[in-house]
Amino acid sequence: MKVGILGGGQLALMMVDSFIDKNVEFIVLDPSDKPPASKRVKCIKAKYDDKEYLDFLAKECDVVTIDFENVPSSSLNYLEMQTKVYPNSKSVEICQDRLKEKNLFRECGVPVTDFYEINDINDLKNAVSEITNKSILKSRFMGYDGKNQVHLNDKKIEEAFTLCGSKDLILEKKVDFITELSLIGARTLDGDTVYYPLVENNHNNGILDYSIAPYENEELQKKAEEYHRVLCDKMNYVGILVIEFFLINNQELIANEMAPRVHNSGHWTIEGANISQFEAHIRCIINEQISDIEMNKYSGMVNIISKMPKDRAECLSDISGFHDYGKLERENRKLGHITLIDTNKNNLLKKIENIKKII
């Protein structure tokens, strides 16, 4: 079995690692020099829309997947004419566009905040008059880790419009939320889905700082799973799909966005669950069965951002996993992550607090 991956970042690296001793061969295509996945497999250096190499992947691979959602959906559509591609190009196209994503949420009965399509400055002024300046202006495309978005209460309307690129924008009403939760589900070719427990996420400057699982609320878990199920059925989705939710005061979930791939908030699953999200994704796309997800302890994941810790030995003293992606240090770049596990949630929180002081 040969699996092609478009994108050679840390997510591809961990997908490869999850099947390193199994009968699966990986071929990775990435336009950069020495991406993280090149530590394990040979990576083809090429653009994602290079038809010569897309043809090569289609010929060599039984199935192709992605390691990040900004791979051109047109490239996936091109591959679909020659081989199997999961998730499918239409799902990725929806997740790449905040407006299409929000419209799909509404169509499927998944609660979302108020939002408006913004094509010019007059659209923005009219929308602001509807929902006030307690809103966030975002680019519809290429927005992650807090990028390409402006809080309108921090900027003048004209300035915000310019900062976000002056086209293809969406205005979203701010949500007064208690916390952010994410649901990770793995859907098979047969349409069966296994779910991980809800994960609580904590951000710093728009970037995920640390995650804790499980968030124990049976009612919210069932509600999130139902939303996930409806969306996956609508998109005919295969593989890992992650939905990020805001939890608001009346214990309701408001969908923020989806990720058509393995996700940062699920990195704890490598050490914290019987099947990691990376193995689950590969199993789904190669049509292998997945058993129910099990975890009997609390797990935490802490991102290493901008700089690697100087004293790794100090980090390793009370942790369950240390993952170095092999990236060059850069401001706000995710360089690795640390997993911590404990039978007591309060003890886990103390461990997270201690490790954050070190890194």
Q: How confident is the model at residue 22 (pLDDT cuts 50, 70, 90)?
A: confident
Rounded Cα–Cα distance for residues 74 and 276 (Å): 29
SS3 at position 302: strand
CATH number of 2-85: 3.40.50.20
Task: Answer yes or no: is pLDDT of 107 > 80.
Answer: yes
Q: Contact, 174 vs 248, CB < 8 A?
A: no
Mean pLDDT of 47-57: 97
What phi and psi values does residue 282 have, to the nearest 5 degrees? -65, -40
Mean pLDDT of 346-350: 95
Task: Answer yes or no: is pLDDT of 312 > 80.
Answer: no
Query: For residue range 180-213, what is the model confidence (pLDDT) as tens digits?
Result: 999 999 999 999 999 999 999 999 988 999 999 9
Q: Contact, 180 vs 257, CB < 8 A?
A: no
- Position 56 scores a pLDDT of 97
Q: How confident is the model at residue 247 (pLDDT cuts 50, 70, 90)?
A: very high
Average pLDDT value for the chain = 93
- Position 305 scores a pLDDT of 96
Task: Answer yes or no: is pLDDT of 339 > 70.
Answer: yes
Task: Answer yes or no: is pLDDT of 179 > 90.
Answer: yes
Domains 114-173 and 177-358 share a fold: no
Mean pLDDT of 12-30: 94
- Position 14 scores a pLDDT of 98
Mean pLDDT of 87-109: 97
- Position 154 scores a pLDDT of 65
Task: Answer yes or no: is pLDDT of 314 > 90.
Answer: no
CA distances (Å), origin 70, targets 159, 241, 261: 26, 15, 11
Q: Given this structure, which CATH class describes domain 177-358?
A: alpha beta
Closest CA to 201 of 302, 304, 294: 302
SS3 at position 153: coil
- % residues pLDDT > 70 (the chain): 97
- Position 34 scores a pLDDT of 93
CA distances (Å), origin 59, targets 51, 67, 83, 98, 281: 12, 20, 8, 33, 22
Helical segments of 87-235, H only? 89-96, 98-107, 121-131, 157-163, 218-235
Rounded Cα–Cα distance for residues 205 and 184 (Å): 23
Mean pLDDT of 122-140: 88
**87-91-92 Cα angle (round to 5):** 80
Query: For residue range 265-305, what is the model confidence (pLDDT) as tens digits?
Result: 999 999 999 999 999 999 999 999 998 999 989 999 999 99
SS3 at position 333: coil
Provide DSSP, 17-28.
HHTTTSS-EEEE
Query: For residue range 24-45, what is the model confidence (pLDDT) as tens digits?
Result: 999 999 999 999 999 999 899 9
Q: How confident is the model at residue 72 (pLDDT cuts 50, 70, 90)?
A: very high
Provide DSSP, 203-219.
EETTEEEEEEE----HH
For 114-173, the fitting CATH number among 3.30.1490.20, 3.30.43.10, 3.20.140.10, 3.40.640.10 is 3.30.1490.20
| Cβ-based neighbours of 72, under 8 Å, separated by 6 or more | 48, 49
Domain spans of the chain?
A: 2-85, 114-173, 177-358
Give the least confident one: 52-66, 97-111, 160-174, 276-290: 160-174
